[in-house]
Amino acid sequence: MDVRHRRLRAAALLGATFLAGIAAWPAGRFVADRFVAAHLGVASAVAAEPSGQADTYKWLTLFGDVFEKVRRDYVDPVSPKTLVENALDGMLAGLDPHSAYMNRKQYHEMEVQTSGQFGGLGIEVTEDNGLIRVISPIDDTPASRAGIKAGDIITAIDGKTVEGLPLSDAVRRMRGKVNTPITLTIKRQGIAKPVVVTMDREIIHIQVVKDRMEPHDIGYIRLSQFTEGADAGIRKAIAALKKQGHGKLRAVILDLRDNPGGLLEQAVAVAGDFIGHGEIVSTRGRHKSDSQRWDAPGHDLIPGVPMVVLINNGSASSSEIVSGALQDHRRAILMGERSFGKGSVQTVMPLPGGGAMRLTTARYYTPSGRSIQDLGIAPDIRVAETYQKLAHFGPAHEWDLNHTITNTGGTKAAPPRPDLPPIAASIPHRPPKDFPKYNPKHPTSTDFQLLQAIRVANAMAEQAAHHTMAKD
């Protein structure tokens, strides 16, 4: 399909983030927002703002003067293409953390990324003071199996430093032929010596949805990203859990922790799988075309089944849309920690020459009218992951980024929740000091937040059963 004629909504997280293995995860653990045809030029820009024609021409003249001086006098020859692309990078990156220019290759890689399949290491990274910081490894990939951790700082690739290397170049170094080895040198929190990790590159197939049955016939669904297969994966997981429980599914836990977001259309579809009717999300922008509303299609897959949603500071964008909608509709109880706070919408506009620009064009709002931009979504029951607060090498929330757009045009807090079960008051806000370290081989017994979610889900299921018996 010609992307210039395709319209596709989505959400995004951090600016200048890439997935090692294929490339740009252009708005941080990003996926495209909307594809629209665009042929941008000076004339059209000037025509759009007739009152500012004189100023526009003045600044364009200044740009032309600087362009020509650099082209003529810079110490080494530099192509006009390089100069213009550098200027576009600066123009868009200076607006906010999520607007950016993508050249032809980055744009293509972004489109590949949204399909949920790519080659490489399976590691999400971003730039951090001239080095490369790991956002998170993807489950069941070379990076996760090699023990790469969120927050790790990659200082060298195959023995060569990455300091001062553009993020896109570092990503290209980490890509390569399948089954070829790569060695990363890592600086890890709490460890004085460099950590050296060697792994083989693979074709990465992202399994974005995983499910299993927890005790008390409570279904657990982990959604790691909102790629094109997210909604289909959720539906498949619900069907599998129903079958596994022989039709008895007392409650469901939806785990959106460290889910960076993705396609907005998938967020709407996933939220619509659990909300019978009403608004899911709306957007408001400078132009009418950027102000829209999405409603639930009217088919809750598990009507009446209690839900708990797990979130943390890594839950962003589409994850916040889903959790915010479920919270506002009182369809689920949110547990964990405050989400990232990425409440802006980006439009991806293809450009002449094969590249594209990603431009922030709207803010999104939950059904109750909340703008979570620079604020995040607060859980109904706060539960920390660890006894001591985890240190972060880079930004833990949207408000840690530079020149973010403001929170405006909406309410700041969720409506009160009088429907919380009595057990909510007894849930500890953090694990005990001697709680075991998380072990992926034994997730239920070492995941404190999940253990508390199971307690709450079980209590909600019992409460729902009592109400049903009382009606009968």
Catalytic hit among 328, 374, 380, 447: 328
Active-site residue, from 224, 282, 317, 323? 317
Question: What would the mean pLDDT of 44-56 be, rounded to a whole number?
Answer: 59
Report yes or no: 199 and 142 within 8 Å, Cβ to Cβ: yes
How large is the average pLDDT for residues 25-49? Answer: 34
| pLDDT tens-digit readout, 53-86 | 888 999 999 999 999 999 999 999 999 999 999 9
Q: Which CATH architecture has domain 117-205?
A: Roll (2.30)
What is the per-residue pLDDT for 169? 81
Does this chain's domain 117-205 share its CATH topology with 209-471?
no
Query: What's the pLDDT at 400?
Result: 76
The residue ranges of every structural domain in the chain are 117-205, 209-471
Structurally, at CATH architecture level, domain 209-471 sits in Alpha-Beta Complex (3.90)
pLDDT for residue 197 is more than 90 = yes
* Band (391; pLDDT cuts 50, 70, 90): low
| Active-site residue, 342 included | yes
Q: Please tell me the predicted confidence (pLDDT) of residue 33.
A: 36
- Which token pair is 471? 């009606």
Range with the poorest average pLDDT among 22-26, 150-154, 165-169? 22-26
When mean pLDDT is compared across 78-92, 160-174, 243-257, 354-368, the lowest value belongs to: 160-174
Query: Taking residues 235-259, what's their average pLDDT?
Result: 94
pTM to 2 decimals? 0.74
Residue 444 reports pLDDT greater than 70: yes
Is 328 a residue of the active site? yes
Statement: residue 20 has pLDDT above 50 = no
Q: What percent of the chain has pLDDT over 70?
A: 85
pLDDT mean over 89-108: 89
**Whole-number average pLDDT of the chain:** 83
pLDDT at 113: 62
Residue 166's pLDDT band (boundaries 50, 70, 90)? confident
Strands (E), 179-278: 181-187, 195-200, 202-205, 209-214, 218-223, 251-255
The whole-number pLDDT of residue 295 equals 97
List, in sequence order, every beta strand (DSSP E) within 257-313: 279-285, 292-295, 307-311
pLDDT at 265 over 50: yes
Q: Which amino acid is at 86?
A: N
Q: What is the pLDDT of residue 438?
A: 84
Strand partners, 160: 157
Give the pLDDT band (50/70/90) at residue 347.
Answer: confident
Decide: helix, strand or coil at residue 83.
helix
Distance spanning both ends of the chain, measured CA to CA = 54
Q: Give which of 269, 268, 274, 276 is closest to 253, Cα–Cα.
A: 274
pLDDT mean over 299-305: 94
Contact 452, 427 (CB under 8 A): yes
What's the pLDDT at 406? 87
Q: Which of 152, 258, 342, 371 is catalytic?
A: 342
| Rounded mean pLDDT, 23-33 | 32
- What confidence score (pLDDT) does residue 218 get? 97
* pLDDT exceeds cutoff 50 at 3: no
